């Protein structure tokens, strides 16, 4: 529940008190012109009371202002702290996501490299089998030529 704003009320009372002090001071000046002792004493008493009331209200206004300023400062610090905490949480979350993405990319790279190695091994086996088959055909052809050459020599 927000605090009500007592400062305008205190300001109005302070202004009224200041007007009363001025009026009492003017009355004191008029009263002392004729130097009537009782009137001067009564006005001085009223003036002292008015000054005391004005000082108290001024002190109250100052205390209220300081309290409100302190509360506002504390609220600003709290909001700043909360914002900094949220920013730190967001940064930590972003860092975690980046780390997870890096890990996934590395795992994908490992998987792709493994698959590429398997494909290369299979291709090498197939190439070796094809080369073996070609070599066997060449040997068969050489053996056939050697047999024909032997037959030609023997005939």
Give a yes or no: residue 137 inside a domain: no
Q: Per residue of the chain (155 residues), what is the pLDDT tens digit? A: 455 555 556 766 777 777 787 777 777 767 666 666 777 778 777 877 877 787 788 778 778 877 888 888 899 999 999 999 999 999 999 999 999 999 999 999 999 999 999 998 999 999 899 989 998 998 898 888 888 888 888 87
DSSP state, 3?
P
Residue 48: both structure tokens together: 């002292």
Beta carbons within 8 Å of 28's beta carbon, 6+ residues apart: 40, 43, 44, 47
Number of domains in the chain: 1
Contact 47, 21 (CB under 8 A): yes
Give a yes or no: residue 71 inside a domain: yes
Give a yes or no: residue 115 inside a domain: no
Give a yes or no: residue 28 inside a domain: yes
Give a yes or no: residue 83 inside a domain: yes
pTM of the model: 0.46
Give a yes or no: residue 86 inside a domain: yes
Which of 3, 4, 5, 9 has its CA nearest to residue 57? Answer: 9
CB environment 29-65: b (16+ within 10 A), e (fewer):
eebeeeeeeeeeeebeebbeebbebbeebeeebeebe
Contact 18, 54 (CB under 8 A): yes
Give a yes or no: residue 98 inside a domain: yes
Domain assignment of residue 56, given as a range? 7-109
């Amino acid at each position: 529940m927000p605090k009500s704003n007592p400062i305008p009320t205190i300001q109005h009372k302070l202004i009224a008190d200041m007007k009363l002090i001025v009026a009492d001071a003017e009355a004191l000046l008029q009263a002392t012109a004729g130097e009537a002792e009782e009137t001067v004493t009564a006005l001085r008493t009223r003036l002292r009371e008015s000054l005391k009331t004005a000082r108290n209200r001024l002190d109250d206004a100052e205390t209220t202002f300081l309290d409100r300023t302190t509360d506002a400062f504390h609220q600003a610090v709290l909001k700043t702290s909360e914002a900094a905490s949220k920013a730190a949480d967001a940064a930590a979350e972003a860092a975690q996501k980046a780390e997870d993405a890096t890990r996934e990319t590395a795992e994908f790279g490992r998987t792709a490299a493994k698959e590429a190695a398997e494909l290369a091994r299979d291709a090498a086996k197939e190439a070796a089998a094809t080369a073996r088959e070609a070599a066997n055909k060449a040997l068969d052809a050489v053996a056939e030529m050697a047999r024909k050459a032997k037959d030609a020599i023997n005939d």
